[in-house]
């Protein structure tokens, strides 16, 4: 099974109510994905549920790198606080375990996957299905977003390793 030395990428879609995790191996294999759904109640208990799952995942499949969605401040400030709490707990565990973390804006993930920064969930889902081998069964939005974030990082990493700058045109790479 791929591990830290094999370039495994952990994708994380953080949230207090639901956090998506995906383990991605290049070129296009999703090894596993899951969503941790927490029970409404004390935030500390919910964060422990998320971090305990993450620690177990890291112990079983140590990734070379992790990618996580940056905080997006939409209309609902209350949900943004929960996402920020989950992100903080996840980032602390990844730091503690020595896993390098790369952060992506939602629009960056959408551009890399679909070519359009305002793509909706259905467009992202179709592009994921066309680009990677997804696990069997129904995947919820958190798991799909975690896969998308991992795939975004894999593609971005490949691009930057080629020596290109993020704003480079294709003609400049030849």
As annotated, the active-site residues are 13, 69, 141
Say whether 117 sits in a helix, a strand or coil: coil
CB contact set of 15 (below 8 Å; sequence gap of 6+): 79, 82, 83, 86, 142
Dihedral of the CA atoms 72, 74, 77, 78 (nearest 10)?
-80
For the chain, the farthest-separated pair of C-alpha atoms sits apart, in whole angstroms, at 55
By DSSP bridging, strand 18-25 and strand 9-13 are antiparallel
CB contact set of 50 (below 8 Å; sequence gap of 6+): 16, 19, 36, 38, 86, 89, 90
Give backbone dihedrals phi and psi of 31, rounded to 5 degrees, phi first.
-70, -40
Q: To which H or E segment does residue 138 belong?
A: none
């Amino acid at each position: 099974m791929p591990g830290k030395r094999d370039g495994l990428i952990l994708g994380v879609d953080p949230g207090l109510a639901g956090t998506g995790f995906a383990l991605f191996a290049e070129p296009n294999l999703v090894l596993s994905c899951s969503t941790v759904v927490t029970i409404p109640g004390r935030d500390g208990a919910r964060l422990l549920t998320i971090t305990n799952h993450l620690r177990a995942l890291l112990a079983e499949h140590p990734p070379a790198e992790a990618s996580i969605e940056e905080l997006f401040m939409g209309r609902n400030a209350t949900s943004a606080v929960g996402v920020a709490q989950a992100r903080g707990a996840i980032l602390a565990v990844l730091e503690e375990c020595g896993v390098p973390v790369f952060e992506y804006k939602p629009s960056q993930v959408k551009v890399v996957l679909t070519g359009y920064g305002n793509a909706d969930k259905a467009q992202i889902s179709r592009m994921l299905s066309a680009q990677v081998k997804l696990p069997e069964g129904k995947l919820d939005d958190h798991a799909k977003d975690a896969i998308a974030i991992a795939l975004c990082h894999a593609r971005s990493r490949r691009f930057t390793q080629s020596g290109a700058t993020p704003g480079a045109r294709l003609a400049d790479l030849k």
